[in-house]
Structure 1
Amino acid sequence: MSLCAGFLDPFARLIGLDGYILMAFILGFPANEIVVPIIIMSYMSSKSMMELDSLNQLKQLLVDNGWTWVTALCVMLFSLMHWPCSTTCLTIKKETQSWKWTFVSFLVPTLSGIVICFIVANLARLLALV
């Protein structure tokens, strides 16, 4: 898992994320609601195991893994704007009878999310807000 996250990390850093976060979004394609649990499991497996009993422990886990307010904002923005889940893509294919429109409905929000996160992350870096 850390090998894949390491491979994705340089691109993910450009858009305000890290390799584990981007990998969680990719692995969450079947169901977008599993992205955050995948992030948490990824972070916990690379360190010592612990049970998160409170929001403070979750905050500490995220901070220990390099999260800043920019990371949190970019995760939120990318969550809102990235590709639809696989079920939605299959429904689009079924309704439109077109792989072209399915691909477009995957590509447009994905590119929008990447561009918006890139702008936000790099604007924060440029203005030295991080």
Structure 2
Amino acid sequence: LIIWLMANISVGDATLLAHCSGFLDPFARVIGMDGVILLAFILGFPANEIVVPIIIMAYLAEGSLLDISDLSVLRDLLVSHGWTWITAVSTMLFSLMHWPCSTTCLTIKKETQSVKWTIASFLVPTVTGIVVCFLFTTAARMLV
């Protein structure tokens, strides 16, 4: 619902999705991604498996999924939005190392009975993911 609303409510000349991804874009570029990808990770907090569908919906700016029966359609979509091998690897690295989903965070809170450990379990992989993506992106850009 949130994704659909953000993709379909316009403020000024752009959707809320475009405004939010534009705001995140400068930081996301530093770690090898773009604002849409970073926003997809944030909106995917309830369930990490929805990150790629959110990216596809945001790039299409339609608020609905595209039937991708051929991987070349997905490739064309990503490349047309500026994806390079650096973007792909950074997205994969961040996917491996970012915060746990909301259910995992709730389970950690329930099992440890500690807000401190819940916050730590959120921040440690997130900071690690940001640092690894930054280091990778910086090194890759120096080599290209």
- Per the TM superposition, whether the score is higher than 0.5 is yes
Q: Deviations over 1:55-100 (max 9, x none)?
A: 0000000000000011000010000000000000000000000000
Is the 2:93–2:129 contact (alpha carbons within 8 Å) kept by the matching residues of 1? yes
Task: Give the Å deviation of 1:50.
Answer: 5.7
Task: Give the Å deviation of 1:26.
Answer: 0.0
> How large is the Cα RMSD of the aligned pairs?
1.2
Residue 93 of structure 2 aligns with which residue?
77
Identity, % of aligned positions: 67
Structure 1 runs of 4+ aligned residues shifted over 4 Å read none
Is 1:117 aligned to residue 139 of structure 2?
Answer: no
Is the 2:98–2:129 contact (alpha carbons within 8 Å) kept by the matching residues of 1? yes
SS state of the match for residue 71, structure 1?
Answer: helix
TM-score (norm 2): 0.85
CA distance in 2, matches of 1:124, 1:45: 30
Structure 2 runs not aligned, ≥5 long: 1-16
Single out whichever of 97-106 and 52-61 deviates more from structure 2: 52-61
Task: Name which of 59, 64, 74 aligns with 2:75.
Answer: 59
Q: Deviations over 1:9-57 (max 9, x none)?
A: 00000000000000000000000000000000000117xx964221000
CA distance in 1, matches of 2:117, 2:59: 36
Is 1:19 aligned to residue 35 of structure 2?
Answer: yes
Task: Name which of 45, 54, 60 aligns with 1:38.
Answer: 54
CA distance in 1, matches of 2:69, 2:57: 14
CA distance in 1, matches of 2:100, 2:69: 31
SS state of the match for residue 61, structure 2?
Answer: helix
Structure 1 runs not aligned, ≥5 long: none
